[in-house]
Structure 1
Amino acid sequence: MLAATVAMSHAGAQAPSTEPAAPAAAVRSTPAYPDPYVPPAMRKPMRDYSSGPTLLRYQAMQKLKKRFDEADQDGNGMLTRDEARKAGLGFVEKNFDHIDTGQKGSISFDDLKSYLIQRREEARSR
């Protein structure tokens, strides 16, 4: 009986598989904790960046970009003070002179983004 079981297990191991072999990278998985030597009581779950402040900032920027593009009536990628006012972008209209550092009379989305980042950094330093 033992011989039959061993023979069957060897026969099953030698039979070709109909499923494609998984690549070596797919077999390896990332560990739940990067350092296996950290005691379980001290382990913290890895941070999930699918939510939180980074995602919120990204979503806010995407909405602002959409509003910026909708306000750009002539499609040149720049907003004038008049276009900002007509689109109801009061913040942009109010701070237009600060955003338009080159005094060109129009601003790009990158100009607006730079201004917002500068304001955030100034607020943090207070």
Structure 2
Amino acid sequence: MKLLQLAMLTAAATGIAAMTHAGAQTPTSDQAAPATVRSTPAYPEPYIPPALRKPLRDATTGPVLLRYQAMQKLKKRFDEADLDGNGVLSRDEARKAGLGFVDKNFEHIDTSQRGTVSFDDLKAYLIQRREEARSR
């Protein structure tokens, strides 16, 4: 049994040595060199100079940024709903544009009772609602 194990180990060692020597041979003149050579390393340098680093996003600016983006989208929809381009929405314009929130809360948003709401009126209403929700 030990003789068999010794023979297997010898054969394995001989095979490894043969592969090592075969890989270490230099190419002869009739063997072609590889056609493609990598110009960039497989693993780029992980170091990034401080001037090129992206700043880490502050956790406190995340919600502010999201609110800003949502307000920009709302402003765009408000401007698209303003069919006559006068800067204010009537209840009918809000309804036709699909701004159900404005339509449902029109009386609360239109605090001056003009029959129209500006984007500033809508913004003030949303801020007031947010403050009321925080105080609960």
Instruction: Report the TM range for the smaller structure's normalisation.
Output: 0.5 to 0.7
**Stretches (4+) displaced over 3 A:** none
1:14 aligned partner = none
Query: TM-score, normalising length from structure 2?
Result: 0.57
Checking the alignment, whether the CA contact within 8 Å between 1:99 and 1:111 is kept in structure 2 is: yes
Checking the alignment, whether the CA contact within 8 Å between 1:72 and 1:79 is kept in structure 2 is: yes
Query: TM-score, normalising length from structure 1?
Result: 0.61
Distance 1:125 1:112 in 2: 20
Give the letter aligned to residue 108 of structure 2: H
> Pairwise CA RMSD of aligned residues?
1.8
Residue 91 (structure 1) aligned with residue 101 (structure 2): yes
Aligned-partner SS, 2:85: coil
The structure number with the bigger radius of gyration is: 2
2:133 aligned partner = 123
Distance 1:74 1:50 in 2: 39
Residue 113 (structure 1) aligned with residue 126 (structure 2): no
Greater mean alpha carbon deviation, residues 48-57 or residues 81-90: 48-57
1:53 aligned partner = 63
After superposition, what is the alpha-carbon deviation per residue over 1:61-103, rounded to whole angstroms, capped at 9, x for unaligned?
0000000000000000000000000000000000000000000
Alpha-carbon shift at residue 47 of structure 1 (Å): 6.1
2:42 aligned partner = none
Distance 1:92 1:62 in 2: 16
Unaligned runs of 5+ in 2: 1-55
Unaligned runs of 5+ in 1: 1-45
Map residues 1-126 of structure 1 onto 2, 5 A cutoff: 48=58, 52-126=62-136
Alpha-carbon shift at residue 50 of structure 1 (Å): 9.0
Alpha-carbon shift at residue 49 of structure 1 (Å): 6.2
Alpha-carbon shift at residue 48 of structure 1 (Å): 1.9
Identity %: 81
Checking the alignment, whether the CA contact within 8 Å between 1:69 and 1:77 is kept in structure 2 is: yes
